[in-house]
Structure 1
Amino acid sequence: MNFRTKVELPAGILSVGYQNRLMSLGSCFSEHIGNRLSDAKFACDVNPFGILYNPFSIARALETLLDGRLYDETSPELFVSKDGWWHSFMHHSRFSASSRDECLSLINGRLSRAMEALPSLDFLLITLGTSYVYCLKGEDGGAADPLEQVVANCHKLPESRFVRLRVSPDAVVRRLGAVIGRLLERRPTLQVLFTVSPIRHARDGFHANQLSKSALLLAVDELCATCPCCHYFPAYEIVLDELRDYRFYADDMLHPSPLAIDYVWECFTDACLTAEARSVMAECQEIRRALEHRPFHPEAPQYKNFLTQIVLRINRLTEKCPTLDFKKELELCHTRLNQ
């Protein structure tokens, strides 16, 4: 007897190895996958603008990287001051600061690193969260084209300052298709993997949330049908159809639980990583777990030998895969060995 509906995973949609460079952009679900790739020692740049929910802001972020444009005091994205803090409408609040100069420094420092990675990018992972957008009103209270003023984050400013719209699938296809075209001109071998976030936006109402997600799914389907470099990974379907039970949700009953994220991660690695990469990743995880072990007697010879064996494992693994960065782990081992 079978008590669940199994979502069929696309076979070999990507072949990600440790020699590749990745970037993950989008909603908080993109951070779950991106951070796990980074933790597993993949070269993955995760959300250089912070969390981005809508496709228009994701497209604008990519355009900024393509243009190689750092921000200054005249940039239209900057600045807005609220309650003594400075914010950027294009960035998550993790970039907010108590002064405009500090906010600008945080943004540009992060942008510079992302721009350096762009020319050698092999895989771009995009997670779309919602097709609702907030458009900043002009000084006259309106705008000729509100979609020219889409913000990534409202920073809890009054709703009266924004126009809220749900963009159509065609509008998403045009906006993302144009920027993907620019990316391919710069990097013809680039592969783009889309996911739609399974996180439900309850504030929209559940019917409106379904309409929003449907627009994204239709848009991604069109992009994948018309652009050979675009692919879709069914994270949305895995959580909502295969894991169709509230035990797989967090306490708010809207976000996937850690167990659900673990399962989606397993599905992702099976579908998108090479067999060699999965093998190396397993060794990286074993080393990380070993270093998380805290002994009762760190000065004991047995523990010193344990650390020495970890250093040897790291050295053997980096000989096998030179792109791995174990600098922090080696420093930690040497620090503990010298205590």
Structure 2
Amino acid sequence: INGRLFSSADTIREARRMILTFGTAWVYRLKSSGKIVSNCHKLPEKMFDRNILTVGEIVTEWKSLLLSLWEQNPELKILFTVSPIRHWKDGAHGNQLSKATLLLAIDALQKEFPEHTAYFPAYEIMMDELRDYRFYADDMLHPSPAAIEYIWERFTGSMLSPDSLSIIKEWKDIQKAINHKPFQPESEAYKRFISQTLLKMERLNEKFPYFDMTNEVEMIKKKF
């Protein structure tokens, strides 16, 4: 566990981009202390008060956290998003109040730190562009695969560099090859297919040496 924690800390210190997705402004407070907690132990509801945070509370908390992050890593850029998933247990109105609170808090943080923050409108795309039923899962709360793909394409098209887009395009083809299940795994044709896939991976790694494919290379070599 300690190894993983140190690894995460090192990653944050070395990262150049971080995406933060806000989901809900509703929180649980432990009655005995007033502290905001996660009821991960499924304790009785009577032990908690449930309320919605104010814009000011969210901004104050996150301003302190962001300043701490930038002390460790001054080059870190933050991209905020608001989750498009509806929290229907709060009711339609409660969900909207929550999302509006998050949007206002993010807007305030962006104004406070304009050089270090940006915003991607995943929530707005879902609400304003993807209104048809086919863009929702059966529960009518979560985005469908079609909606996820649409939002992903909007994200990559506006946020990623040409090099990153090139990696994604080439990697999709390689990933399909890795996941391919042949009818005749012992055939010469399949062995050629594996060799061609490894060659594609080598070429991709030559173009983008920072793109680590070590695990995938080992995985596909085992298919020989």
TM-score for the superposition, normalised by structure 2: 0.95
Instruction: Assess if the C-alpha contact under 8 Å between 1:202 and 1:254 holds in 2.
Output: yes
Instruction: Assess if the C-alpha contact under 8 Å between 1:134 and 1:154 holds in 2.
Output: no
Per-residue CA distance 1:193-243 (angstroms, 9 max, x = gap): 111111111111110111111100000011111202111100000001100
User: Pairwise mapping of residues 183-332 of structure 1 onto structure 2 (< 5 A)?
Assistant: 183-228=69-114, 229-332=116-219
Q: CA deviation at 1:111?
A: 2.4
Q: Secondary structure at the match of 2:181?
A: coil
RMSD: 1.4
Compare the two structures and name the one with the higher helix fraction.
2
Ranges in structure 1 where 5+ consecutive residues have no aligned partner: 1-104
Per-residue CA distance 1:76-125 (angstroms, 9 max, x = gap): xxxxxxxxxxxxxxxxxxxxxxxxxxxxx5xx454232112121011111
Q: Secondary structure at the match of 2:222?
A: helix
Q: Percent identity?
A: 47
Question: Is 1:172 the counterpart of 2:66 in the alignment?
Answer: no
Residue in 1 aligned with 2:20?
126
Instruction: Give the direction of change, closer, same or farther, for the CA distance of 1:279–1:153 in structure 2 (3 Å limit).
Output: farther
Q: How many residues matched?
A: 223
Q: Secondary structure at the match of 1:297?
A: coil
Distance 1:211 1:110 in 2: 37
Instruction: Assess if the C-alpha contact under 8 Å between 1:120 and 1:187 holds in 2.
Output: yes
Instruction: Assess if the C-alpha contact under 8 Å between 1:202 and 1:209 holds in 2.
Output: yes
Higher relative contact order (CA closer than 8 Å, sequence separation 6+): 1
Instruction: Assess if the C-alpha contact under 8 Å between 1:131 and 1:215 holds in 2.
Output: yes
Q: Secondary structure at the match of 1:306?
A: helix
Ranges in structure 2 where 5+ consecutive residues have no aligned partner: none
Distance 2:61 2:12 in 1: 19
Distance 1:135 1:113 in 2: 31
Distance 2:40 2:205 in 1: 44
What letter matches 2:31 in structure 1?
Answer: K
TM-score for the superposition, normalised by structure 1: 0.63
What letter matches 1:247 in structure 2?
Answer: R
Instruction: Assess if the C-alpha contact under 8 Å between 1:123 and 1:190 holds in 2.
Output: yes
